[in-house]
Structure 1
Amino acid sequence: MNHDILTLIQGNMPTFSKGQKRIANFILESYDKAAFMTASRLGKRVGVSESTVVRFAAELGYQGYPDMQKSLQKMIRNRLTSVQRIEVTNDRLGDQDLLSMVLQSDIEKIRLTLEELDRDSFEKAAEAIVSARKIYIMGVRSSAAIATFLTFYFNLIFDNVVEVSANTASEVFERLLRVGEGDVVIGVSFPRYSSRTVQAMNFARDRGATTIAITDSEASPLAPLGTYLLKARSDMASFVDSLVAPLSLINALLVAVSQKKNDDLAATFQNLERIWEEYGVYEKVQE
């Protein structure tokens, strides 16, 4: 279903029944909330049955209500403001237990990520990282936490890692000035997508670098720029981005890379342990 769902609804409005028009009008006016409602909840909100909502989705050409809902969510994921996110979350929560809902949602995102991840792309991405001349890592805003985590551990494994800071647009391209063939550029971005990360990945790809896009779906503007696409489901918990599944993917990538560098890594950590001990980096916990 490639058409904008709002355009699709407007074009079919004359053919809808009275109940379907109520559904259509609500979606057109409050698509940010409708996208995260169950068929039952949407039906109650506009005063129609759940089956009417399901038939409405079929009328538009979707395989079912979840398919229509997915289309709505993809359309709006990058459009929601922080205020809209809070409103949507409050509507989704209702009287449910907040702690259970958030944690169960994170568990589900990890499960879906495991099911949907392209294993071949994952393996090739790990191989490319290990053999790279230089490794560039970029992620801004909420994705900066993931990029920094990845950079911290890669710096323990490799001596050719560059974290691309993005305080200004010029700073991004200055850090990537010498990028080219033989280099790997890892871009991390989740909704709302960072334009600077997209620009940096485009720049790196045009200069012949291998690009690894870590993002949430093929609909992400980062996806077509990746030599290898690693998808991890993300979600929003109020104005906060839930990045549990992306971080789990990063953990798996770190383990995969470390296994390929196993012999070198053992020697590196032997040296590190001596340094940490000598300079008292870690507190000793008494048994």
Structure 2
Amino acid sequence: MTAGKAVSADVAFVQSALGKVLAGVRAEGSASHRSIADYLMRNPMRGTALKIEEMAEGCQVSTATISRFARDIGFNSYGAMRSALAETLHTAMQPVEKLRSSIARRKASLSPGEASMEYARTNVSASHDAQSQQALDAVATKISRARTVYVLGLGMSSSLAAMLTLHLQPFCQHVVEMAAAGGTEVAAGQLVHIGRGDVLVVMSFPRYSCDAMRLAQFARSQRATVVTITDSPSAPMVPLADHALYASSAHGVLPSSAVAAVAVIESLVVSLMVSNKINVKKAARLTEVMADYMVGGRSASL
């Protein structure tokens, strides 16, 4: 497998048979079972090494609950579940290990800038493999029908939120960039009126913001639809979201790369723009209006 076709281990794990079982339990299981499934999805590597007592402590449940969880998802014992977890993770890691080996072999000949470009190319490819047009269309439909679209990104994600807001404004009834330069306090104030019929889009990438998660929880409590654009199905925002789009953000030096996130934002906006004839007309009208303000436009001759 070439670097361009490598899929992140997190995405591959969640798309595996065991990953789908865990995702189902995390979504619809009992409180204790959701806690265990969430722990395993966030920490699959650690789960392969923990004794049952350590797993119980990590999930804050009893060892009996861990054993019952293993049986409920089809294993004879906790040990059998742990072995299946290790096997699944090994399979998921193979493409990533191949990529790492490839980069390691080329390290001597790659400059830091070239290595960064390699990560960017791989992240875009991995995000392409993890995304479906159906997922993009579902989110585009929710956004196009929303009364108000709130867009949230804190820290490094704030620039992504600003980009999405700018793209959405011509096609949505009302778009609010929550944080802008004001941070969490301003974002919380913007969210006061959110409710049913509204959509909150949260950008969430390493390093993940706890404040973004708290604001998403508030939006859910007000019956708004929550969408996240994040890096992995095991990211902490996923359980809080009604819809998730994935943009791989791995990087050898930076905390996270935003290249794939920009690609996913553009894919979402394009899906929204072509989703109905009204938006196509809006795009044409926008182009016509903006022509007056562009270099070489009609106003240039005035």
Q: TM-score, normalised by structure 2?
A: 0.62
| Inter-CA distance 96–207: structure 2 relative to 1 (3 Å threshold) | farther
Query: Which residue pairs with 2:267 in the alignment?
Result: 252
Query: Which residue pairs with 1:184 in the alignment?
Result: 199
CA distance in 1, matches of 2:92, 2:141: 38
1:181 CA displacement: 0.4
Q: Do 1:232 and 1:246's aligned partners in 2 also have CA atoms closer than 8 Å?
A: yes
Query: Which residue pairs with 1:53 in the alignment?
Result: none
What are the residue-to-residue correspondences of 1:129-278 with 2, within 5 Å? 129-165=143-179, 167-239=182-254, 241-267=256-282, 269-270=284-285, 273-274=288-289, 277=292
Query: Which residue pairs with 1:108 in the alignment?
Result: 122
| Inter-CA distance 60–227: structure 2 relative to 1 (3 Å threshold) | closer
The worse-fitting range, judged by mean Cα deviation, of 207-216 and 58-67 is 58-67
1:119 CA displacement: 3.7
Residue of 87, 93, 96 corresponding to 1:63: 87
> More helix per residue: 1 or 2?
2
CA distance in 1, matches of 2:266, 2:229: 13
CA distance in 1, matches of 2:89, 2:146: 45
Count of matched residue pairs? 220
**Corresponding letter in the other structure for 2:135:** S
CA distance in 2, matches of 1:116, 1:161: 27
1:96 CA displacement: 4.0
**Corresponding letter in the other structure for 2:86:** Y
Q: Do 1:215 and 1:222's aligned partners in 2 also have CA atoms closer than 8 Å?
A: yes
CA distance in 1, matches of 2:257, 2:114: 14
CA distance in 2, matches of 1:259, 1:4: 39
What are the residue-to-residue correspondences of 1:39-78 with 2, within 5 Å? 62-63=86-87
Percent of paired sites with the same residue: 22
CA distance in 2, matches of 1:236, 1:111: 14
1:67 CA displacement: 5.3
1:125 CA displacement: 0.8
CA RMSD of aligned residues (A): 3.5
CA distance in 1, matches of 2:135, 2:228: 11
What whole-Å deviation, never above 9, does each CA across 1:145-181 have from its counterpart, x for those lacking one? 1111111111122240001116343322210001010
| Inter-CA distance 94–268: structure 2 relative to 1 (3 Å threshold) | closer
Q: TM-score, normalised by structure 1?
A: 0.65
Instruction: Give ranges in structure 1 of 5+ residues lacking alignment.
Output: 12-57, 74-90
- Structure possessing the higher radius of gyration over alpha carbons: 1
1:121 CA displacement: 2.7
**Corresponding letter in the other structure for 2:239:** P
| Inter-CA distance 195–272: structure 2 relative to 1 (3 Å threshold) | same
Q: Do 2:120 and 2:257's aligned partners in 1 also have CA atoms closer than 8 Å?
A: yes
Q: Do 2:219 and 2:226's aligned partners in 1 also have CA atoms closer than 8 Å?
A: yes
Query: Which residue pairs with 1:33 in the alignment?
Result: none
**Corresponding letter in the other structure for 1:116:** A
CA distance in 1, matches of 2:281, 2:93: 49
What are the residue-to-residue correspondences of 1:72-91 with 2, within 5 Å? none
What whole-Å deviation, never above 9, does each CA across 1:58-82 have from its counterpart, x for those lacking one? 9997338855869xx9xxxxxxxxx
1:110 CA displacement: 1.5
Q: Do 1:215 and 1:232's aligned partners in 2 also have CA atoms closer than 8 Å?
A: yes
CA distance in 2, matches of 1:186, 1:127: 13
